[in-house]
Amino acid sequence: MTVPTDLAYLPASEALRRFRDRSLSPVELMNAVIARAEAVESKVNALAERTFDEALAAAQEAEARYAGKGEPPRPLEGLSVATKEEQPIAGRLATDGSLAFAHEVADETHPVIERVLAAGGIVHARTTTPEFSCAAVTQSRLWGVTRNPWNLQYSPGGSSGGAGAALAAGETTLATGSDIGGSIRIPASSTGTVGFKPPYGRVPAMAPFNLDTYCHDGPMARTVADCALLQNVIAGPHPRDGVSLRPKLVLPERFEGVAGLRVALSVSLGDWHVDPEVEANTRAVAEALRAAGAVVEEVEVAITRADVLKAAMIHFGAIFGPYIASVASEHGDKLTPYALDFAERAGRTAREPGSFLEGLTVEAAVQAEIGTLLERHDVLLCPTLAIPAYAADDDYTSTKVVVNGVELDDYLEASLTTVFNIASRCPVLSVPSGFASTGVPTGVQIVGRTYDDTTVFRVASAIEAVRPWARVAVL
């Protein structure tokens, strides 16, 4: 069967409209997505698990619903949703990208996946991650290297790299991700997609990491409207997550313009070194918002890379460091060098005298700086990554990232995302800002006031309207 590949890139909102008027069948769309995945997976390697036969059967059931047979269609009825393998599904493998857990089977389903399935979404595939989702590139000894569809020499980012790559390559209509230091936004930036880090508690998570304020599960898509669609499905209180917020916030289907909104622009977000192409694309987005009627003001931000990395490593060292170390004590020969290195560095920082209090002090200062800035402005606009993308084949355990001739102490300093895991109650959307000369997309972050998700989506929608981005990665 020959299926046009452009159908695989159909926005979810458009697909639902066509399902309802019967001009497109969920089976046709699923066939297009599967055909695209089978054509590109050998190059991209974004899918950790495929359940195509089951997906086609589910698409047939969805088709019947749209034909008026049985129950009425649900919010995601018939749409393909690739879910991050880190988010478990009962009865399915739960490897966390590690050879140590290559045969582990989950006995519980993540709340996000529960809601996707209950809304009629079809999980046709699960996406790759770095081991333990602890890297900004997506590669593992279990699955190999996941590559950026726009340029295979580059990584789609991490840790939701498989999700970003699958969206950019047309292997799914929607995707789920998670973000503890930028793991939704980094891949969104590098793959030209849209990724939302909801404010802490907006989307339910699983214990014990639901209690970690850095941790966020969220939606990824190719358009702002599609991202909002999925966010509305997965958000809301859940009985197994005591910090999930009530009442549920529902984003509107359409967003008003940005005339009169106050936008703070910071290219460096303090002292980050930013690639000239990333800076130029960020400034172009700011100019587009200004042309759309927003009041854009360039601002100074009193935050340093060193403080953010120190606070993050103290935080990770108290949680992920001990976890990875416990796995390494039994399965050390199976773990990747970058996972072992991450655990060792984070653990060492966390063990320094007074480190926990120091971490909290830095976090409080970061939150105060962002909060004060957003008291004067409706949103903050800044790059997502300081570079267009990381290399696909490098794990950065020995390689240094150089930006504008400056060698960074840690490759994670090339990301401007972790600031907003510290300021975790701020909603943050990453949307495309343009392309670098390598052909890899770049992105900007739209940061909102605490729990003001709607304004963030409003600004993102305006950017998409005035600077529409390419959605088809040509392989």
Predicted local distance difference test score (pLDDT) of residue 79: 99
Predicted local distance difference test score (pLDDT) of residue 1: 34
3-state secondary structure of 50: strand
Q: Which long-range contacts (CB under 8 A, 24 or more apart) does 402-409 make?
A: 403/273, 403/274, 403/275, 404/273, 404/274, 404/275, 404/276, 406/273, 408/273, 408/305, 409/306, 409/309
Q: Residue 170 in contact with residue 134, Cβ under 8 Å?
A: no
Compute the distance between CA of residue 300 and CA of residue 295 in angstroms, rounded to an integer.
Answer: 16
Q: Which residues pair with 297 in a beta bridge?
A: 264
Compute the distance between CA of residue 101 and CA of residue 131 in angstroms, rounded to an integer.
Answer: 10
pTM of the predicted model as reported, rounded to 2 decimal places: 0.97
Predicted local distance difference test score (pLDDT) of residue 5: 55
Whole-Å CA distances, 253 to 174, 225, 404: 17, 7, 41
3-state secondary structure of 332: helix
Compute the distance between CA of residue 312 and CA of residue 348 in angstroms, rounded to an integer.
Answer: 12
Predicted local distance difference test score (pLDDT) of residue 31: 98
Where does 277-354 show beta strands of DSSP type E? 295-298
Compute the distance between CA of residue 473 and CA of residue 33 in angstroms, rounded to an integer.
Answer: 14
Measured in degrees and rounded to the nearest 5, phi and psi for residue 332 equal -55, -35
Report which residue type is found at 250. Answer: V
Name the percent of the chain in helix, strand, coil, to the closest 5: 40, 15, 40
Compute the distance between CA of residue 416 and CA of residue 430 in angstroms, rounded to an integer.
Answer: 11
Q: Residue 290 in contact with residue 326, Cβ under 8 Å?
A: no
Which helix (H) or strand (E) is 375 found in, with range? Answer: helix 355-376
Q: Tell me the catalytic residues.
A: 84, 159, 183
The token duo for 276 is 């000239």
Other CB atoms closer than 10 Å to residue 38's CB: what's the count? 12
- 2 contacts: CB under 8 Å, gap ≥ 6: none
Compute the distance between CA of residue 452 and CA of residue 425 in angstroms, rounded to an integer.
Answer: 9
- 24 contacts: CB under 8 Å, gap ≥ 6: 10, 15, 18
Chunked mean pLDDT (size 10), the chain, 475 residues = 70 98 98 97 98 98 97 98 98 98 98 98 98 97 98 98 98 98 98 98 97 98 98 98 98 97 98 98 98 98 96 91 86 94 87 89 98 98 98 97 97 98 98 98 98 98 95 76
Q: Residue 282 in contact with residue 240, Cβ under 8 Å?
A: no
